[in-house]
């Protein structure tokens, strides 16, 4: 027996990661396609929760339906996998019932801006103290790559084989115009910046929103001249431009080089959150503290 084998026999090698406590190893391997950006998003989310300073048992993650919505199933904490487009409604109920919880909604563009768009703008209007992380891959990736409200004009999908002729949402512009106190956008390439923004979101009093631009290689990527996920990441690297002070009306995404992807933390202001406004209203109307 070699000296190394002797050491290992006496003191077994353990391979653990600080993130392991927040992941459900029994659910792995995951279902996502090779090159999908969701693995990066999970890594950032888990590290953000771990580094937030907020106890793990205070975190709740809610999702609807879709590729991104599968994320909570891999997290070892309180999570809810709800109906399509209704994650924000469920999350609002959780937060209003127990304001001490740190409630995060994570979903795709189809779940949050197509099926659930109405819930999104009203949660922003009310300034419910939620974190909403939208992974935007510009199509319905799980159900076959159909076009949606964030598909850029001219982009091809399984249901727009000759190119999309409908205008798409400029997500940060829409969310900021609706009144969100924190609005950010990063790509899956910007893992460090995304992590920092998630940690910041956990400490925003009110609705914090992050758009995460992500590769979807087998559907959107393949149909729009990206040979693979690496090609899309190379586009992110060459065309992304950090500008926290950007004019949000001019940062719509075309997903065509050399058009830029403007990223940054665009809005970070203080506004009274829903639970604070509710408490003050009750105290004013009844003379009693809630």
Interior CA angle at 38 toward 147 and 247, to 5°?
Answer: 65
- Per-residue model confidence (pLDDT) at position 11: 54
The tokens of 126 are what?
Answer: 């009310």
Residue 4 confidence (pLDDT) above 70: no
The predicted-structure confidence for 136-195, as pLDDT tens digits, reads as follows 999 999 888 899 999 999 999 999 999 999 999 999 999 999 999 999 999 999 999 999
The predicted-structure confidence for 17-32, as pLDDT tens digits, reads as follows 777 888 998 888 899 9
Q: Report which of 84, 253, 61, 270 is spatially closest to residue 174, judged by C-alpha positions.
A: 253
Residues near 51 by Cβ (< 8 Å), separated by ≥ 6?
Answer: 195, 199
**Which CATH code, of 3.30.420.40, 2.60.120.650, 3.40.50.970, 3.90.550.10, is assigned to 36-286?**
3.40.50.970
| Placement of tokens 């392991």 in the chain | 20
Looking at the chain, how many residues does it have? 290
The tokens of 168 are what?
Answer: 């798409």
Based on its alpha-carbon atoms, the radius of gyration of the chain, rounded to whole angstroms, reads 20
Residues near 266 by Cβ (< 8 Å), separated by ≥ 6?
Answer: 172, 176, 183, 184, 185, 244, 245, 246, 248
* Percentage with pLDDT > 70 across the chain: 94
Rounded to whole angstroms, the Cα distance separating 54 from 23 reads: 17
* Peptide bond before residue 258 is cis, with ω within 30 degrees of 0: yes
| Placement of tokens 């509710």 in the chain | 278
């Amino acid at each position: 027996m070699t000296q190394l084998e002797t050491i290992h026999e006496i003191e077994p090698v353990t391979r653990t990661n600080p993130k392991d406590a927040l992941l459900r190893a029994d659910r792995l391997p995951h279902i996502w396609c090779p090159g999908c950006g969701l693995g990066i998003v999970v890594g950032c989310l888990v590290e953000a929760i771990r580094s937030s300073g907020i106890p793990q048992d205070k975190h709740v993650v809610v999702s609807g339906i879709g590729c991104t919505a599968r994320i909570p199933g891999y997290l070892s904490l309180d999570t809810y996998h709800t109906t399509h487009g209704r994650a924000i409604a469920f999350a609002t109920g959780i937060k209003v019932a127990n304001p001490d919880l740190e409630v995060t909604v994570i979903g795709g563009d189809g779940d949050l801006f197509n099926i659930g768009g109405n819930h999104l703008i009203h949660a922003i209007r009310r300034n419910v103290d939620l974190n909403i992380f939208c992974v935007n891959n510009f199509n319905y990736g799980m159900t076959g790559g159909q076009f949606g409200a964030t598909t850029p004009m001219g982009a091809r999908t399984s249901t727009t084989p000759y190119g999309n002729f409908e205008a798409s949402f400029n997500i940060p512009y829409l969310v900021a115009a609706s009144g969100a106190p924190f609005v950010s956008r990063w790509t899956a390439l910007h893992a460090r910046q995304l992590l920092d923004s998630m940690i910041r979101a956990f400490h925003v009093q009110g609705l914090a929103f992050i758009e995460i631009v992500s590769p979807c290689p087998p559907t959107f990527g393949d149909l729009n001249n990206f040979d693979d996920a690496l090609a899309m990441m190379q586009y992110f690297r060459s065309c992304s431009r950090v500008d926290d002070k950007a004019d949000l009306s001019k940062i719509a995404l075309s997903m065509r080089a050399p058009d830029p992807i403007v990223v940054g933390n665009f809005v970070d202001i203080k506004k009274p959150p829903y639970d604070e406004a509710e408490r003050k209203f009750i105290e004013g109307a009844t003379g009693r503290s809630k």
